[in-house]
Amino acid sequence: MALVIPVILGSVRQGRNGLRAARYLVHALESRGHEAPLVDPADLGLPLLTRMYKEYPKGEAPEVLERLAALYRRSDGFVVVSAEYNHSIPPALSNTLDHFLEEYFWRPSAIVCYSAGRYGGVRAAMQLRAMLGELGTPSIPSLLPIPEVHKALDEDGQPLQPWLERQTGRFLDELAWYAEALREKRGGGVPY
Ligand SMILES: Cc1cc2nc3c(=O)[nH]c(=O)nc-3n(C[C@H](O)[C@H](O)[C@H](O)COP(=O)(O)O)c2cc1C
């Protein structure tokens, strides 16, 4: 079943490795027949949050927020790609996510974390999991941690390590299962 799953990237740093991971996930989702638009806060020029999307009068939000809201409303789930900055999530990711709330509701998320070191960003992932729960897009049980991300993926997001593709297959199977289940359930209405 084709799903709509935006890939939300959370790094805007010059020379960021996050683009490798995000591109990899976009390719992996698309090769399974899903629609996987990249949400890149650097490319979008996403402003620092001064007002949430819902705090704007109808029709007065910046165009970039209107476009993202429309995308999220037709989405079936989210892949969130996070680096680890000081054992936590990058500020750009928090900023990207915080603009919205209800638009995420009743949809699953899946966490891809990465780092230049050997732990793959899992400490940030644990904080991200709590945050995504609060945002109403609870994360699936599995994580996809990518240690030494600069060695695991090239700049175009092509995998350089066989283990990565094996783990990605299982991870995306799990996300699709949750996304399909919740899509069917959303079709019958949501609690509020
Ligand atoms: C501000 C900052 C803090 C960092 N803190 C950590 C950390 O706590 N743990 C870790 O494994 N790597 C840490 N790193 C290294 C990152 O894993 C590495 O730079 C990674 O490429 C960051 O993602 P990005 O390139 O997409 O910004 C940090 C990097 C930066 C810039």
In a domain, 179, yes or no: yes
Name the domain count of the chain.
1
Distance 117 CA to ligand 1 centre (A): 8
Say if residue 5's pLDDT is above 90: yes
> Over the stretch 97-125, which tens digit does the pLDDT of each residue have?
999 999 999 999 999 999 999 999 999 99
Q: Does the CB atom of residue 148 touch ligand 1 within 6 A? A: no
In a domain, 2, yes or no: no
User: pTM for the full model?
Assistant: 0.98
Q: Which domain holds residue 52?
A: 7-187
Distance 18 CA to ligand 1 centre (A): 10
Distance 192 CA to ligand 1 centre (A): 38
Q: In this structure, what CATH number is given to the domain that contains residue 43?
A: 3.40.50.360
In a domain, 168, yes or no: yes
Evaluated on CA atoms 186, 131, 27, 121, the torsion sign reads negative
In a domain, 1, yes or no: no
Q: What single string gives the DSSP state of each residue in 34-76?
A: -B--EE-HHHHTPPPPSS-GGGSPTT-S-HHHHHHHHHHHT-S
Q: Does the CB atom of residue 18 touch ligand 1 within 6 A? A: yes
In a domain, 100, yes or no: yes
Quick one: pLDDT at residue 1? 86
